Structure 1
Amino acid sequence: MLPTPCHVIGDVHLGVATLDSERALLRLLRDIPAQARSVVIMGDLFDFWFAWRYAMPRIGFRVLAALADLHDAGIPVLWIGGNHDCWGGEALQRETGARYTLDPWRGPIGAWDTLLAHGDGLREVEDAPYRRLRTVLRHPWSNAAFSWLHPDLASRIAMQSSKTSRKGRARDGGAGLLAVATAALTATDGPRLVLHGHSHVPTLVHAGAGVYGNAGAWYLDHQYLVIEDARISRRQWDDSGEHVVLDVVERPS
């Protein structure tokens, strides 16, 4: 179980995010001990991450340190791996203290029965080719071969190849993931809250018998979600450090 209030952050894409976006995220993370009791990262915190045996990417070092500080302060961090930061979750978990998983996560966040998944590969028809590619990219043999490349060269290759999957927002406006979530929220034994990332489309709506949310892409608009027992709000961090409430959805009775 994750306690509330819970801050949900998605698709930061450190490595291509601006320095201002990274600084804003650091300010948000440093404010969390006074505002929240848990944190969820919905994947793609990095535009690329790989855990070599003796090397560590320098990108996002301060953000990882801030997550470790949250863990040390007793604030649990749940990290749902995305399609850009799926290689080396064990190292991320060890260094930050976050709970890292590539599998969908279901459990209570406060009073909400929640299902979390990054969102890559969930659309049945449209994502079929990607699911086949993902099987290859995440295979232990592929990881072993990639690990033999020098980190500078490997990172350059990965950053170039990731351009198409990080540009802007989903062409379907997030409709595909909303449909996937609605099906789960309509099921008899389904959750009452489904959260995704991946589409980069900020969303907070009633769907099925519950609520669907997507924090959007921090690197595009500095939005995030706050889960409380009675409601969920979609918020935006502005340049003054204020938390602007954009939308609120009450928990269905």
Structure 2
Amino acid sequence: MPLSDGKKIYFASDQHFGAPTRALSFPREQQFVRWLDEIKSDAGAIFLLGDLFDFWFEYSTVVPKGFIRVLGKLAEIRDSGIPIYFFVGNHDLWMHDYFEKELNIPVYHDNQEYTFGGKTFLIGHGDGKGPGDKGYKRMKKVFTNRFSKWLYRWLHPDLGMKLAQYLSVKNKLISGDADVKFLGEDKEWLVLYAKRKLQTRHYDYFVFGHRHLPMTIPVGENATYINLGDWIGYFTYGVFDGERFELKEYKG
């Protein structure tokens, strides 16, 4: 992907809009829209790395109500010609083709490789990668199973959305009761995943979300693992200017 002079690549993840309630989520949505409005002047591309919504499920003719300001701003930016790429997370993994058809934003369900300014990137949400977390990996297989999704579609949307929201806010990370801590390089699964990938191919940057902690960790010679943090407690994002990658905090 060519990067024009003065243009930058922006990355953000784990906004979890809708949690713990729509009313409490709304100020964060407004802040995210302000960020999008500011970066559109020099954005060469925008990568959203999952869990934009705390829950998302697409029925054949129904999508979740709300988030109109976020969706409208994404539509505006995309219509202006700026590419936007969306990677599903573990909270919005039931996304199908709504973004592609309505917003012209491609949706990815697994890692993708890119090259910007001669630097190679491996990009994804990060859930289910690396060693450990076998319980979640088994659960994800159930959630992504076609039969499971077919069964869920038989729930009336009002019931399906309420059930999903109830289960989602039980997650202590989103309810604000969790103390997310750095586990150490030898225990951070995505760090171990990046080091393992380097055994077969070099990447300059591994960019993921999911952990909700802003992290920049060297994982090899000229190779760096970056976790984007979140828009719940940190309001952090990544920016690559063609030469270097930085994590920044948005205070607008």
Both structures adopt the same fold (TM-score exceeding 0.5): yes
Once the two structures are TM-superposed, the CA of residue 25 in structure 1 deviates from its matched residue by 0.4
Say yes or no: does 1:152 pair with 2:158.
Answer: yes
Paired residues of 1:203 and 1:216 also in contact (CA < 8 A): yes
Question: Please, what TM-score do these two structures have when normalized by structure 1?
Answer: 0.87
Question: Please, what TM-score do these two structures have when normalized by structure 2?
Answer: 0.87
Aligned residues: 237
Once residues 59 and 179 of structure 1 are traced to their aligned partners in structure 2, the CA distance between those partners, rounded to angstroms, is: 38
* Aligned counterpart for 1:133 among listed residues 105, 127, 139: 139
Amino acid at match of 2:8: P
Q: 1:109 to 1:60 in 2, by over 3 A?
A: farther
Amino acid at match of 2:192: A
Q: 1:213 to 1:204 in 2, by over 3 A?
A: same
Paired residues of 2:182 and 2:213 also in contact (CA < 8 A): no
Deviation track 1:90-147 (CA, whole Å, cap 9, x = no partner) reads 112222211110011112133321101211111322x212111111111111111111
Amino acid at match of 1:227: F
SS in 2 for 1:39: strand
**Uncovered stretches (5+) of structure 1, i.e. residues with no partner:** 242-253
Paired residues of 1:182 and 1:212 also in contact (CA < 8 A): no
Q: 1:2 to 1:153 in 2, by over 3 A?
A: farther
Paired residues of 1:11 and 1:200 also in contact (CA < 8 A): yes
Deviation beyond 6 Å, 4+ runs, structure 1? none
* Aligned counterpart for 1:70 among listed residues 69, 77, 84: 77
**Uncovered stretches (5+) of structure 2, i.e. residues with no partner:** none
Once residues 77 and 16 of structure 2 are traced to their aligned partners in structure 1, the CA distance between those partners, rounded to angstroms, is: 20
2:124 corresponding residue in structure 1: 117
2:27 corresponding residue in structure 1: 20
Once residues 87 and 246 of structure 2 are traced to their aligned partners in structure 1, the CA distance between those partners, rounded to angstroms, is: 20
2:149 corresponding residue in structure 1: 143
After superposition, residues 191-230 of structure 1 pair within 5 angstroms as 191-209=203-221, 210-230=223-243
Deviation track 1:60-106 (CA, whole Å, cap 9, x = no partner) reads 22211211111111111111111111112311222221111001111
Once residues 199 and 39 of structure 2 are traced to their aligned partners in structure 1, the CA distance between those partners, rounded to angstroms, is: 34
Once residues 57 and 94 of structure 1 are traced to their aligned partners in structure 2, the CA distance between those partners, rounded to angstroms, is: 16
> What is the percentage of aligned positions where both structures have the same residue?
30
2:13 corresponding residue in structure 1: 10
1:245 corresponding residue in structure 2: none
1:232 corresponding residue in structure 2: 245
Once the two structures are TM-superposed, the CA of residue 165 in structure 1 deviates from its matched residue by 7.0
How large is the Cα RMSD of the aligned pairs?
Answer: 1.9
2:171 corresponding residue in structure 1: 164
Once residues 27 and 239 of structure 2 are traced to their aligned partners in structure 1, the CA distance between those partners, rounded to angstroms, is: 22
Once residues 154 and 134 of structure 1 are traced to their aligned partners in structure 2, the CA distance between those partners, rounded to angstroms, is: 18
Say yes or no: does 1:42 pair with 2:55.
Answer: no
Paired residues of 1:169 and 1:201 also in contact (CA < 8 A): no
Structure 1 stretch displaced more, 54-63 or 18-27? 54-63
2:101 corresponding residue in structure 1: 94
Once residues 53 and 137 of structure 2 are traced to their aligned partners in structure 1, the CA distance between those partners, rounded to angstroms, is: 20
Once residues 200 and 25 of structure 1 are traced to their aligned partners in structure 2, the CA distance between those partners, rounded to angstroms, is: 16
Paired residues of 2:17 and 2:54 also in contact (CA < 8 A): yes
Paired residues of 1:183 and 1:208 also in contact (CA < 8 A): no
Once the two structures are TM-superposed, the CA of residue 170 in structure 1 deviates from its matched residue by 4.6
* Aligned counterpart for 2:36 among listed residues 24, 29, 41: 29
1:247 corresponding residue in structure 2: none
Structure 1 stretch displaced more, 194-203 or 159-168? 159-168
Deviation track 1:160-218 (CA, whole Å, cap 9, x = no partner) reads 2223274446555472222222332x325221110111010101232212111111011
Deviation track 1:25-71 (CA, whole Å, cap 9, x = no partner) reads 00111122213111000100000000111212123222112111111
